[in-house]
Amino acid sequence: MMRILLATDGSPHALRAAAFVARLVRETRGVELILVNVGHVPAVALGGPGAGAMVDFGVLEEGLERAGQEILNNTLRELAGIDADIAKEYRRGDPGGQILEAAKAKDVDLIVMGCRGLGQFGGLILGSVSERVLHGAHMPVLIVR
Ligand code: ATP
Ligand code: MG
* CATH code for the domain in which residue 62 is found: 3.40.50.620
At residue 53, φ and ψ (nearest 5 deg) are -75, -25
How many domains is the chain built from? 1
Q: Comparing 15-19, 23-27, 68-72, 98-102, which segment has the lowest mean pLDDT?
A: 23-27
Confidence band of 132 (pLDDT split at 50, 70, 90): very high
pLDDT digits (tens, 9 = 90+) for 41-69: 776 566 666 555 667 888 889 999 999 99
What is the model's pLDDT at position 138? 96
State in Å: Cα 129 to ligand 2 middle: 6
What is the model's pLDDT at position 44? 59
pLDDT digits (tens, 9 = 90+) for 66-122: 999 999 999 999 999 999 999 999 999 999 999 999 999 999 999 999 999 999 887
State in Å: Cα 21 to ligand 1 middle: 17
- Report the alpha-carbon distance of residue 127 to residue 114 in Å, rounded: 9
The one-letter code for the residue type at 43 is A
State in Å: Cα 6 to ligand 2 middle: 15
What is the model's pLDDT at position 46? 62
CB-based contact 102:131 (threshold 8 Å): no
- Which of 121 and 6 is assigned the larger pLDDT? 6
Question: Any residues with Cβ below 6 Å from ligand 1, and which?
Answer: 7-9, 11, 13-14, 17, 36-38, 40, 95, 99, 113-114, 116-119, 121, 127-130
Q: Is 2 exposed, middle or buried (0-12, 13-18, 19+ CB in 10 A)?
A: middle
Range of the domain at 60: 2-144
CB-based contact 139:110 (threshold 8 Å): yes
